[in-house]
Amino acid sequence: MKKFIQSLPKVELHLHIEGSLEPELMFELAKRNKIAIPFNSHEEVRAAYNFHNLQSFLDIYYQGANVLIHEQDFFDLTWAYLLRCKADHVMHTEIFFDPQTHTARGIAFDTVVKGIDRALTRGHEELAISSKLIMCFLRHLDEESAFITLNQALAHKDKIIAVGLDSSEIGNPVQKFERVFKKAIDHGFKSVAHAGEEGPASNIRDALELLKVDRVDHGVRCTEDPALLAQLIAQKIPLTVCPLSNTKLKVYKNMTEHNIVELLRHGVCVTINSDDPAYFGGYMTDNFIAVADAHPLSKAELAQFTVNAIHASFISEQEKQPLLQRTLDYLEQN
Ligand code: HPA
Ligand code: ZN
């Protein structure tokens, strides 16, 4: 089964590029950019990755991003992630970036986008991995900062497919972002939001009703509200679930308690993703294996996660066809 999972074609829809910064690259960039970091070795960094909730992770994650300064740094970060995608048979990926984490440090929006985009373009040409870029607003910051960020994004509309919402869910309701999401949608951006990760099912309802999102990031707490669960199924609203993230951040005590397989069997358009793989102990294949180890799954069920992700992706129906074909061929031949 591990062999089947390793080579299974995959699609990733929930990946924070800053969360793919491995300790080795963090050290290399800190040295290159002469940035002091509060660790003496890779081992010390990994030892610090012991989280008890979302906020304890976010504090370390924002600190790690301080080593990213130049366009080349964003290129190197993204390229390293794409090589992991290649190894894990990821055909298509839709990645998040957090512009405010960088603009707040005086790094130009353009520098960030250009570095990431150059790597994604090369990934398409040299690794045959297609991709889309999603810009997240930080929900602990205010509406004005989100509007400034959206205005900066307008010059890069050709490179950014959607807006998203991440950072601390508790204490930062979506109401603050209703107007900025409306403006983004009016400009043609698609939209997603983190909801129902640590916060209650009502946050998922709010993201759907107030922000009008196309899909929900995490969303695992939907099972606490049967009417909402029925709505997600009926309206085919995708959830981008991140199993290793959820156990690392104590949303679930262990993988056996995770509801992802229950969601799949209920007919929710649920997908498997890696979130912040450098911090949570694994990329796409690792996440699939962690789920399959805790919950016996058939090969068809494992492939269904990819089929769901293809349907949930922001590529055209025409672009989806070869990905679906490759997945179904793989299932038939293995
Ligand atoms: N939740 C909220 N914000 C985040 C996450 C997450 O899982 N990862 C990076 N920023
Ligand atoms: Zn996330």
Element (H, E) at 245: helix 243-248
pLDDT value at position 121? 98
pLDDT of the chain, 334 residues: tens digit per residue: 999 999 999 999 999 999 999 999 999 999 999 999 999 988 899 888 999 999 999 999 999 999 999 999 999 999 999 999 999 999 999 999 999 999 999 999 999 999 999 999 999 999 999 999 999 999 999 999 999 999 999 999 999 999 999 999 999 999 999 999 999 999 999 999 999 999 999 999 999 999 999 999 999 999 999 999 999 999 999 999 999 999 999 999 999 999 999 999 999 999 999 999 999 999 999 999 999 999 999 999 999 999 999 999 999 999 999 999 999 999 999 9
14 Cα to the center of ligand 2, angstroms: 6
Which of ligand 1's atoms lies nearest the C-alpha of 16?
Answer: 9
pLDDT value at position 278? 97
pLDDT value at position 142? 98
Residue with tokens 């099972």: 223
pLDDT value at position 29? 97
Residue 67 CA to residue 61 CA, distance in Å, equals 11
Per residue in 3-19, pLDDT tens? 999 999 999 999 999 99
Q: Dig out the tokens for 25 from the structure.
A: 């690259």
To test the ligand 1 pocket, which listed residue (177, 194, 248, 251) has its Cβ within 8 A of the most ligand atoms?
194
Residue with tokens 């492939």: 303
Which residues have a catalytic role annotated?
197
pLDDT value at position 30? 96
- Cα torsion 311, 316, 319, 324 to 10°: value is 10
Instruction: Reduce the DSSP state of residue 271 to 3 states and report it.
Output: strand
334 Cα to the center of ligand 2, angstroms: 32
334 Cα to the center of ligand 1, angstroms: 35
Instruction: Reduce the DSSP state of residue 225 to 3 states and report it.
Output: coil
pTM: 0.98
| Pick from 272, 329, 327: nearest CA to 295 | 272
Q: Output the DSSP codes for 56-87.
A: HHHHHHHHHGGG--SHHHHHHHHHHHHHHHHH
For residue 58, give the ligand nearest its CA. 1
pLDDT value at position 175? 97
Which of ligand 1's atoms lies nearest the C-alpha of 167?
Answer: 3
Domains and CATH numbers, the chain: 2-333 (3.20.20.140)
Q: Dig out the tokens for 165 from the structure.
A: 């919402």
Which of ligand 1's atoms lies nearest the C-alpha of 276?
Answer: 8
Strand order in the sheet with 10-16: 10-16, 90-97, 130-138, 162-166, 190-195, 215-218, 239-241, 270-272
Instruction: Reduce the DSSP state of residue 45 to 3 states and report it.
Output: helix
